[in-house]
């Protein structure tokens, strides 16, 4: 599956006329978006492509905003945990046609609850930018290839840790309001990791 995605991503050109191709790897943490992003990055580098990986976990809002309605509010998680404005400003904006290509890998450390102070990176043209994390669709992010790692409701519940079960209603809402499987270019069914299936 990684090789299939690498072939797709290696042929990408930015659809907005920019110099950088942008790929979404969307899914719950239990689906392993970060692991797939790293595997795909390695496969693309082996093909000679420059790759930059961005995890949305580095673009969470400060705790004072995330936890305004408590630490386990699924609606807050869905609507307000991820700083989509910062992703636009620090990642997608600089990658538009005529942009500088100067992006931030992350902005906020959710454990220390402070800015990461990571240095900006100037991406060479033709870099593939892999953005991974949950709830990526529905924000008009300009992805050139979108991949959704799908877990059935039962598999998602089984593979989500007990301390994270409170967030499951947010993923049900995401399915209902955004239809990630219908939105994505490629859907990978992750219920059985040893027998993956995908379309697209």
Q: Which residues have CB under 8 Å from 143's CB, separation 6+?
A: 22, 23, 24, 131, 136
Round to whole Å and give the CA distance between 16 and 142.
Answer: 8
pTM: 0.95
At residue 54 the predicted structure's pLDDT band, cuts being 50, 70 and 90, is very high
pLDDT of 61 above 80: yes
What number is the average pLDDT over the span 17-40?
A: 94
At residue 86 the predicted structure's pLDDT band, cuts being 50, 70 and 90, is very high
Residue pair 190/155 in contact (Cβ under 8 Å)? The answer is yes
What is the CB neighbour count within 10 angstroms for residue 156?
Answer: 21
DSSP H helical segments within the chain, as ranges? Answer: 2-10, 33-46, 63-66, 74-80, 84-87, 153-159, 168-178, 180-183
pLDDT of 128 above 90: yes
pLDDT of 11 reads 83
Measuring CA to CA, which residue among 20, 102, 101, 116 is closest to residue 59?
116
At residue 200 the predicted structure's pLDDT band, cuts being 50, 70 and 90, is low
Residue pair 66/60 in contact (Cβ under 8 Å)? The answer is yes
What number is the average pLDDT over the span 49-63?
A: 97
pLDDT, tens only, 153-196: 999 999 999 999 999 999 999 999 999 999 999 999 999 877 77
What is the CB neighbour count within 10 angstroms for residue 52?
Answer: 20
pLDDT of 99 above 90: yes
Mean pLDDT of the chain: 94
């Amino acid at each position: 599956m990684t090789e299939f995605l690498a072939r797709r991503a290696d042929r990408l050109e930015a659809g907005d006329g920019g110099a950088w191709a942008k790929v979404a790897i969307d899914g719950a943490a239990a689906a392993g978006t970060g692991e797939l992003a790293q595997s795909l990055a390695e496969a693309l580098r082996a093909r000679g492509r420059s790759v930059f990986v961005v995890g949305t976990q580095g673009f969470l809002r400060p705790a004072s905003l995330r936890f305004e309605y408590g630490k386990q509010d699924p609606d807050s998680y869905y609507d307000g945990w991820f700083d989509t404005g910062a992703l636009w400003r620090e990642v997608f904006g600089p990658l538009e046609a005529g942009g500088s290509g100067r992006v931030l890998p992350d902005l906020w450390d959710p454990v220390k609850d402070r800015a990461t102070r990571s240095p900006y990176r100037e991406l060479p043209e033709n870099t593939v930018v892999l953005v991974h994390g949950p709830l990526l669709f529905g924000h008009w992010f300009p992805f050139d290839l979108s991949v959704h790692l799908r877990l059935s409701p039962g598999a998602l519940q089984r593979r989500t840790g007990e301390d994270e079960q409170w967030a499951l209603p947010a993923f049900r809402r995401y399915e209902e309001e955004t239809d990630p499987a219908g939105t994505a270019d490629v859907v990978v069914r992750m219920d059985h990791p040893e027998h993956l299936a995908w379309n697209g």
